[in-house]
């Protein structure tokens, strides 16, 4: 039989939508890519003697961090993964204890002691070890060092982010809040994927993607692909150093807070408050960790992965509310949108 080329990939408007809408979500694949961190976290928890410590007496995250001489942030990330995976459980007093599985298999003097969760020099294992030694600095900074990377690194990071965020975009863009906004500023907007979807589904809206210069160039090409140049502009700014445009009635941060430590998050919240009109909204598109910091497993894994690349973590809704309300924002709300994502909003009085 003669070879025939594959038919062209179906174009997005075959579903009668102005933007690609996936028929199924990407949870299966996202779960798989995040789960790679579980083996390295268990291996290092064994090396740190975390299981032995919790077997002797249940501990809070802060107590365990102190005993193991690691930062509370690293302890939180490790404990969240171990608890979500089923090796630790939270007691009524908030302390973490071993589950039966951990008691049986994770203690070196148990006859059933189990090891070998990843190869000795697995990539994540080596990077996490560097993080344990290096403390506050991520061993391989990505988004937090965007203005220092070579253009090829910027392009490849933004391409990866684009592929990861695209399946979420339509579910975000269809949220009713975007139907009531006249001008949206997307801070750290990356490839522009979310703004493009929001503009495509909400013809009344005008949008600005704000990011560093080389990223804005990528976003502009994507905006042009969808023919949305009249609805979306870009502005090259450093979000910490430069002035923000002030004409917006909503400011979106998607996966931006999770890159940064609390100090930078407070600064971003303050800058958003200052740039908004009265009645304007701050919108966060994030995957929150449970308030009890023990799941969902994939979100806990992502938080541990961020230790290696960024300065932040997956914040809980309670932590995000504290950041936003501390600068004077009110009416905190959160709606689940897609897989683990929430759209979180708060208003300037
Ligand atoms: C994790 S990506 C999120 C991209 C997009 N919002 C999304 O959800 O796909 C973080 C974004 O923050 C941008 N960024 C990092 N530092 C920045 C800075 N100082 N000023 C403006 N943007 C910055 C990066 O270029 C990147 O596009």
Domains located in the chain, CATH noted: 30-134 (1.10.10.10), 143-347 (3.40.50.150)
CA 260 to ligand 1 centroid distance, Å = 11
According to the model, what pLDDT value does residue 8 have?
45
Distance CA 306, CA 71 (A): 15
Structure tokens at 89: 């459980």
pTM > 0.85: yes
Which contacts (CB < 8 Å, 24+ apart) does range 88-96 have? 88/54, 88/294, 89/294, 90/292, 90/294, 91/58, 93/58, 94/60, 95/58, 95/59, 95/60, 95/63, 96/54, 96/58, 96/59, 96/60, 96/61, 96/64
Q: Which of 147, 188, 286 to mutate to test the pocket of ligand 1 (most atoms within 8 A of CB)?
A: 188
- What are 207-250's pLDDT values in tens digits? 999 999 999 999 999 999 999 999 999 999 999 999 999 989 99
CA 317 to ligand 1 centroid distance, Å = 21
Selection from 253, 339, 257, 335 nearest residue 296 by Cα: 339
CA 256 to ligand 1 centroid distance, Å = 6
For CA atoms 63, 68, 71, 72, give the dihedral sign. negative
Inter-CA distances, 62 with 13, 77, 291, Å? 51, 12, 16
pLDDT tens string, the chain, 349 residues long: the values are 455 555 444 444 445 678 889 989 999 999 999 999 999 999 999 999 999 999 999 999 999 999 999 999 999 999 999 999 999 999 999 999 999 999 999 999 999 999 999 999 999 999 999 999 887 889 999 999 999 999 999 999 999 999 999 999 999 999 999 999 999 999 999 999 999 999 999 999 999 999 999 999 999 999 999 999 999 999 999 999 999 999 899 999 999 999 999 999 999 999 999 999 999 999 999 999 999 999 999 999 999 999 999 999 999 999 999 999 999 999 999 999 999 999 999 999 9
What backbone phi and psi angles, to 5 degrees, belong to 331?
A: 55, 50
Lining ligand 1 with CB less than 6 A are: 143, 146, 161, 165, 188-190, 194, 211-212, 215, 238-240, 254-256, 259
Residues 6+ apart with CB under 8 A from 36: 124
């Amino acid at each position: 039989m003669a070879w025939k080329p594959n038919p062209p990939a179906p174009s997005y408007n075959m579903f009668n939508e102005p933007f690609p809408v996936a028929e199924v979500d990407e949870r299966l694949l996202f779960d798989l890519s995040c789960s790679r961190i579980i083996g390295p976290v268990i291996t290092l928890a064994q090396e740190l003697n975390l299981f032995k410590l919790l077997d002797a007496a249940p501990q809070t995250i802060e107590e365990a961090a102190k005993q193991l001489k690691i930062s509370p942030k690293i302890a939180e990330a490790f404990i969240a993964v171990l608890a979500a995976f089923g090796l630790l459980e939270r007691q009524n007093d908030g302390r973490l204890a071993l589950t039966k599985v951990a008691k049986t298999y994770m203690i070196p003097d148990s006859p059933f002691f189990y090891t070998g969760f990843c190869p000795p020099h697995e990539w994540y294992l080596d990077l996490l070890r560097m993080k344990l030694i290096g403390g506050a600095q991520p061993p391989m900074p990505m988004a937090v060092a965007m203005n220092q990377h070579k253009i090829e690194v910027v392009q490849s990071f933004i391409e990866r982010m684009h592929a990861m965020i695209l399946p979420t975009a339509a579910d975000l863009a269809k949220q009713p809040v975007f139907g009531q906004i006249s001008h949206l500023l997307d801070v750290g907007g990356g490839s522009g994927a979310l703004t493009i979807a929001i503009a495509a589904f909400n013809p009344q809206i005008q949008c600005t993607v704000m990011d560093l210069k080389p990223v804005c160039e990528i976003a502009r090409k994507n905006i042009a692909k969808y023919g949305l140049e009249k609805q979306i502009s870009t502005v090259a700014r450093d979000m910490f150093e430069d002035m923000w445009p002030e004409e917006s009635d909503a400011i979106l941060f998607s996966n931006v807070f999770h890159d940064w430590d609390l100090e930078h998050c407070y600064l971003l919240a303050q800058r958003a408050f200052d740039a908004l009109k009265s009645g304007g909204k701050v919108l966060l598109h994030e995957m929150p960790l449970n308030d009890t910091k023990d799941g969902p497993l994939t979100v806990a894994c992502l938080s541990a992965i961020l230790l290696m690349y960024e300065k932040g973590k997956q914040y809980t809704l309670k932590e995000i509310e504290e950041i936003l309300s501390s600068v004077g924002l009110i009416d905190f709300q959160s709606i689940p949108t897609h897989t683990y994502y929430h759209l979180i909003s708060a208003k300037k009085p």
